[in-house]
Amino acid sequence: YKRQGINAEYGEVTSIDTSKNELSLKNGEKVKYDQLLIASGGDPRRLTIPGSDLGNIFCLREVEEANGINNVVKSSSNVVVIGSSFIGMEIAATLTGKVASISVVGRGVPFERVLGRQVGAVMKQLSEEKGLKFISKSPTEFKGADGVVQAVVFDDGTEVPADVVVLGIGVAPATSYVPENISKHADGSIIVDEFMRTSVPNVYAAGDLAHFRYPDSTKSLRIEHWAFASKQGKVAALNMLEPNSAPLTAVPYFWCMIFGKSVRYTGHASHYDEVIFHQDKQDPYKFVAYYVEKGKIAAVSAMTAEPVVSAAAELFRIGRIPTVDQVRSADFNLVTFLAK
């Protein structure tokens, strides 16, 4: 930071006074600003059920939490992961083979909310082959002894042994300190325009807490992925230096690794009408899925099929994504289509 002429102030912001262009820190200090970027991310959601204050119940957001999990897991541990989307499944896959048992708690099949039931079913099959167990029940209590968790109780009265519990049930925008005159979405995220500007002059927002309008669309959304957050941060910085110079045009793109296989996704389709699913006949863990929304391809996901999703991201960017009828053919190839 010093080499780049950046003055780093370490502390927790407790409030923002936009009339004075001033931040208040927890230690009582005040920090003045000419322009402000709010990028405090999200706070992990936690379960508020009996026993939630027991030891060895973790979220995963900070390095300290990752170290905490590593310090308590043993080869004899029974681990319960609550949440079957990206964080939960990545944790479960990472711990597989290192502990006695892993149970993943979630609704439906893993990744279903984002990637859909067909993709989720394939991911579940892969995970079960590797030894994961899935539970489609709601936890109602954590039981423990000597201040440490020992079991998870579910809504049907059943109990599952748990020496370690990891929560991966999403995040809430970390905006409790943000004043009311900065407009927010119903979920607490900060509403921004295409230049990452908030409703208050000289105040910008980016990352997990930014609610933005999707490029060339009427949809507004919030993306929780570090790669897209970094793109938003760059756009905000450019506009802080030169107002209205750099609209957000990036297409959402994210990925994860599950049992050594890459799952990638680009675009955005929260309310898709259909999924066109092409699965390799020889390898069930190689597929491409097209998400159809209002008669158009709105998103693409794939496993072990790169550079298909990268090609899709570029086609979205340049406005050349193929039609629904074109991608219905099992022989259709996005990479070849892009090269034309």
Using one digit for the tens of pLDDT, what is the confidence trace for 273-296? 999 999 999 999 999 999 999 999
Task: Using pLDDT thresholds of 50, 70 and 90, give the confidence band for residue 68.
Answer: very high
Q: How far apart are CA 66 and CA 242, in angstroms?
A: 39
Provide the pLDDT confidence category of residue 318 given band limits of 50, 70 and 90: very high
Return the pLDDT at 214: 81
Is it the case that residue 44 has pLDDT exceeding 70?
Answer: yes
Cα torsion 59, 8, 173, 248 to 10°: value is -120
Containing H/E element for 126?
helix 117-129
Which residue type, as a one-letter code, is found at position 80? V
What's the pLDDT score for residue 32?
95
User: Would you state the structure tokens that stand for residue 170, as one six-digit string?
Assistant: 């999403």
pLDDT above 70 (res 2): yes
CA atoms within 13 A on the CB side of 146: 1
The answer to whether the beta carbons of residues 229 and 212 sit under 8 Å apart is no
In the predicted structure, residue 219 carries a pLDDT above the cut 80: no
pLDDT at 271: 87
Output phi, psi for 77, to 5 deg.
-75, 140
- What proportion of the chain, given as a percentage, has pLDDT over 90? 89
pLDDT tens digits, 119-137: 999 999 999 999 999 999 9
Segment 22-49 shows an average pLDDT of 95
Residue 216 has pLDDT above 90, yes or no: no
Predicted local distance difference test score (pLDDT) of residue 213: 87
pLDDT, residue 212, reads: 94
The answer on pLDDT for 201 being more than 70 is: yes
Output the pLDDT for position 270: 83
More confident residue, 1 or 140: 140
Residue type at 174? A
Cis previous bond, 322, omega within 30: no
Q: Residue 188 pLDDT more than 90? A: yes
- pLDDT of 202 > 70? The answer is yes
Average pLDDT over residues 89-105: 96
Is 225's pLDDT higher than 90? no
Average pLDDT along the chain: 94
pLDDT at position 226 is 87
The reported pLDDT for the residue numbered 220 is: 83
Q: What is the pLDDT of residue 128?
A: 96
